[in-house]
């Protein structure tokens, strides 16, 4: 194993020993924040009550609402003058939360990020283009720092302006990209529209993440752009990217357990679920000093992959994120996640790069309309062929989500495109109220 950081080769015993020690330190540090000092003092939690990494179960969960109500400074565990950076979550599910970092926190984060990139073969000699929003979003500066730490020539391209992105990729002979999956598919389409073959573009690796996507989407990105795409998971509350990352095996993401404690709980009972079972991911920072966050309920649904990873790292792997607990749709008595729809849609070669799930009212009944872009070469076909395709898609969707949604085939590049995370579901049921 060619490693960036010695912790990558640690055994389970070494990881657990470090976790216990670091959890003690984290609790100690957290006690300096108004939020955790209030919470822990009533429960009698101190660094001394942490006997092993199992003691984490005595610590109450921290929720997004806790972070929101503690906005802006209730979670700070060091004097403000020791903080050097503030980031915020994207606000996908409501008002954003802010996270502050010390210089040491940023340093540790850059190291984690560099470790992730090194794991998939990014090296000093690479030219790296970061196609992510800079500013409060952690995918900008967070990944940037990791690439610079590795020594890559790093291009802070930012989000949007697709033609300029493509020109930079070509002119600078960019070898590695960081790009949100929905945007990677869009960018590939634009290259095609320019009359070029996206597979001829220089990049050999793409780091993709920040939003849920299916294995089908990854394979499309790889085929379309002629590169290897690796899943990158993180959230602002835990720094941002650098929490969990796929290795060359491309089968689940290793969570860096020397820096985070990973738990999967049943979101209803809040009890741990056995390895292999899907539940809500709960994470604890072990090394952050500016703003430690303990047992954070991410709302992201995943499972631990119990089998050992062929790469040799024993940091446990989590499966691709299914979505957030609140992404679940309940329509006509059937529960499903948008990613189940994506999985079906992208398995059709006729389907283009974008789709949208519309929730509508038909009389008093909820109805789902799936709008899906069809690739140019299929859209010109006769109406009968298109109707047949529409029916085939609707049938396959019914098999997956257990009712038949309406399916609308639309021309390529006609559905709205976001610069950041894709919006997959639009709820029109309350329109006009």
Question: What totals of helices (H) and strands (E) does the chain contain, helices first?
Answer: 11, 21
Which of ligand ADP, Zn ion, none does residue 236 bind to, with CB < 5 to 8 Å depending on kind?
ligand ADP
Q: How many CA atoms lie within 13 A of 260 on its CB side?
A: 29
Spatial distance between the Cα atoms of 140 and 236, rounded to a whole number of angstroms: 12
Out of 76, 113, 235, 247, point to the residue binding Zn ion (CB under 5 A).
Answer: 247
* 10 vs 296, beta carbon nearer Zn ion: 10
The least CB distance from residue 276 to Zn ion, in Å, is 17
Which of ligand ADP, Zn ion, none does residue 90 bind to, with CB < 5 to 8 Å depending on kind?
ligand ADP
Spatial distance between the Cα atoms of 133 and 211, rounded to a whole number of angstroms: 14
The least CB distance from residue 213 to ligand ADP, in Å, is 6
Q: Does 242 bind ligand ADP (CB under 6 A)?
A: no
Question: Exposed, middle or buried: residue 173 (CB in 10 Å: 0-12, 13-18, 19+)?
Answer: exposed
* 257 vs 327, beta carbon nearer ligand ADP: 327
Spatial distance between the Cα atoms of 244 and 46, rounded to a whole number of angstroms: 28
Strands ordered across the beta sheet of 279-285: 260-265, 279-285, 296-302, 323-324
Which of ligand ADP, Zn ion, none does residue 336 bind to, with CB < 5 to 8 Å depending on kind?
none
In terms of DSSP H, where are the helices of 32-82? 34-43, 64-69
Task: Return the structure tokens found at 340.
Answer: 């189940």
* 136 vs 311, beta carbon nearer Zn ion: 311
Question: Exposed, middle or buried: residue 52 (CB in 10 Å: 0-12, 13-18, 19+)?
Answer: exposed
Spatial distance between the Cα atoms of 248 and 122, rounded to a whole number of angstroms: 11
Q: Which residues pair with 359 in a beta bridge?
A: 368, 427
Which of ligand ADP, Zn ion, none does residue 247 bind to, with CB < 5 to 8 Å depending on kind?
Zn ion
The least CB distance from residue 343 to Zn ion, in Å, is 23
Out of 31, 309, 358, 425, point to the residue binding Zn ion (CB under 5 A).
Answer: 309
Q: Does 89 bind ligand ADP (CB under 6 A)?
A: yes
Which of ligand ADP, Zn ion, none does residue 231 bind to, with CB < 5 to 8 Å depending on kind?
ligand ADP
Q: Does 135 bind ligand ADP (CB under 6 A)?
A: no
Residues 6+ apart with CB under 8 A from 213: 181, 182, 320, 339, 342
Which of Zn ion, ligand ADP, none does residue 387 bind to, with CB < 5 to 8 Å depending on kind?
none
Q: Does 273 bind Zn ion (CB under 5 A)?
A: no
Q: Does 233 bind ligand ADP (CB under 6 A)?
A: yes
The site for ligand ADP, by CB under 6 A, has a size of 20
The least CB distance from residue 88 to ligand ADP, in Å, is 8
Out of 265, 311, 386, 423, point to the residue binding Zn ion (CB under 5 A).
Answer: 311
The least CB distance from residue 313 to Zn ion, in Å, is 5
Q: Which stretch binds Zn ion (CB under 5 A): 8-16, 148-156, 249-257, 341-349?
A: 249-257
Residues 6+ apart with CB under 8 A from 249: 309, 310, 311
Which residues, numbered 321-380, are part of the site for ligand ADP (CB under 6 A)? 321, 324
| Interface pattern 189-228 for Zn ion (x via CB under 5 A) | ----------------------------------------
Q: Does 319 bind Zn ion (CB under 5 A)?
A: no
Query: Do the Cβ atoms of 397 and 405 come closer than 8 Å?
Result: yes
Q: Does 143 bind ligand ADP (CB under 6 A)?
A: no
Which of Zn ion, ligand ADP, none does residue 309 bind to, with CB < 5 to 8 Å depending on kind?
Zn ion
Q: How does 100-119 read in b/e, with b if 16+ C-beta sit within 10 Å? A: bbbeebbebbbbbbbbbbbb
Spatial distance between the Cα atoms of 7 and 209, rounded to a whole number of angstroms: 23
Q: Which stretch binds ligand ADP (CB under 6 A): 106-114, 126-134, 231-239, 367-375?
A: 231-239
- End-to-end distance of the chain based on CA atoms, in angstroms? 59
Nearest to 211 by CA among 351, 371, 339: 339
Query: Do the Cβ atoms of 159 and 187 come closer than 8 Å?
Result: no
The least CB distance from residue 317 to Zn ion, in Å, is 7
Q: Which stretch binds Zn ion (CB under 5 A): 9-17, 261-269, 310-318, 361-369?
A: 310-318
Spatial distance between the Cα atoms of 354 and 188, rounded to a whole number of angstroms: 12
Query: Do the Cβ atoms of 127 and 173 come closer than 8 Å?
Result: yes
* 258 vs 300, beta carbon nearer ligand ADP: 300
Q: Does 284 bind ligand ADP (CB under 6 A)?
A: no
Q: Does 142 bind ligand ADP (CB under 6 A)?
A: no
Q: Which residues form the interface with ligand ADP (CB under 6 A)?
A: 89-93, 137, 209-212, 231-236, 298, 300, 321, 324
Q: Which residues form the interface with Zn ion (CB under 5 A)?
A: 247, 249, 309, 311, 313
């Amino acid at each position: 194993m060619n490693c960036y950081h010695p912790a990558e080769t640690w055994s389970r015993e070494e990881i657990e020993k470090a976790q216990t020690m670091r959890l003690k330190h984290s609790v100690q540090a957290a006690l300096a924040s108004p939020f955790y000092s209030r919470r822990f003092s009533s429960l009698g939690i101190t660094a001394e009550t942490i006997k092993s990494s199992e003691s984490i179960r005595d610590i109450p969960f921290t929720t997004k609402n806790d972070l929101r109500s503690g906005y802006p400074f209730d979670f700070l565990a060091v004097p403000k003058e020791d903080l050097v950076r503030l980031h915020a979550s994207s606000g996908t599910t409501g008002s954003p939360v802010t996270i502050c970092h010390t210089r040491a926190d940023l340093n540790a984060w850059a190291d984690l990020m560099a470790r992730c990139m090194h794991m998939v073969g990014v090296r000093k000699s690479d030219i790296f283009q970061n196609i992510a929003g800079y500013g409060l979003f952690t995918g900008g500066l967070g990944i940037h720092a990791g690439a610079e730490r590795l020594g890559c020539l790093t291009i802070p391209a930012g989000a949007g302006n697709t033609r300029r992105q493509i020109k930079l990729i070509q002119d600078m002979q960019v070898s590695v990209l960081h790009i949100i999956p929905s945007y990677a598919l869009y960018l590939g389409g634009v290259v095609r529209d320019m009359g070029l073959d996206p597979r001829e573009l220089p990049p050999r690796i793409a780091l993709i993440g920040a939003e849920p996507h299916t294995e089908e989407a990854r394979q499309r990105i790889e085929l379309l752009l002629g590169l290897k795409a690796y899943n990158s998971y993180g959230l602002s509350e835990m720094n941002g990217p650098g929490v969990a990352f796929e290795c060359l095996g491309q089968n689940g993401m290793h969570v860096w357990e020397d820096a985070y404690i990973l738990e999967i709980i049943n979101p209803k009972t809040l009890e741990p679920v056995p390895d292999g079972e899907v539940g809500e991911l709960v994470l604890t920072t072990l090394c952050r000093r500016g703003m430690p966050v303990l047992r954070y309920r991410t709302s992201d649904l995943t499972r631990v992959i119990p089998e050992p990873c062929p790469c040799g790292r024993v940091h446990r792997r989590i499966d691709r994120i299914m979505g957030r607990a609140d992404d679940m749709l309940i329509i006509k008595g059937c529960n499903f996640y948008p990613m189940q729809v994506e999985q079906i849609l992208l398995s059709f070669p006729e389907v283009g790069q974008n789709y949208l799930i519309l929730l509508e009212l038909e009389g008093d009944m909820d109805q789902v309309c799936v709008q899906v872009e069809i690739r140019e070469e299929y859209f010109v076909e006769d109406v009968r062929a298109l109707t047949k395709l529409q029916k085939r898609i609707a049938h396959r969707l019914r098999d997956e989500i257990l009712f038949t949604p309406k399916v609308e085939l639309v021309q390529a590049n006609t559905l709205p495109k976001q610069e950041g995370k894709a919006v997959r579901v639009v709820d029109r049921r309350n329109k006009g109220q």
